[in-house]
Amino acid sequence: MPAALKNAIDWASTPPAFGSVRAQQSLRQILASIGSDVVVKPEVTVFRSHERFDNEGTLTDDFTASLLVELLTALNATIRAGAR
């Protein structure tokens, strides 16, 4: 199944609160199966994202911001480990 079609079905078949959670999970499985380095923890899922940003698009939710910092820290560590 083409990825774009799978993503469209995923978006159309899930409540707005879940967005592309299942598509992201499938992508992680595919990337892991071909040996790609995938940072999976922490998993960042921003439910009800329209409530977590202000009108200018600035993230206002401290918990979500802390998860993003953790994820970027893990990504940085993975990149640095691979660069050696």
Cα dihedral sign for 46, 49, 54, 57? positive
pLDDT in tens, 13-67: 766 666 667 778 888 889 888 988 888 788 888 888 889 999 999 999 999 999 9
CA–CA gap between residue 33 and residue 38 (Å, rounded)? 10
Higher pLDDT, 46 or 73: 73
pTM for this prediction: 0.64
Does the pLDDT of residue 7 top 90, yes or no? no
**Quick one: pLDDT band at residue 84, thresholds 50, 70, 90?**
low
Higher pLDDT, 64 or 11: 64
Residue 59, strand partner residues: 53
Q: Which residue has the tokens 């978006």?
A: 11
Q: Which residues have a Cβ under 8 Å from the Cβ of 67 and sit 6 or more positions away?
A: 42, 44
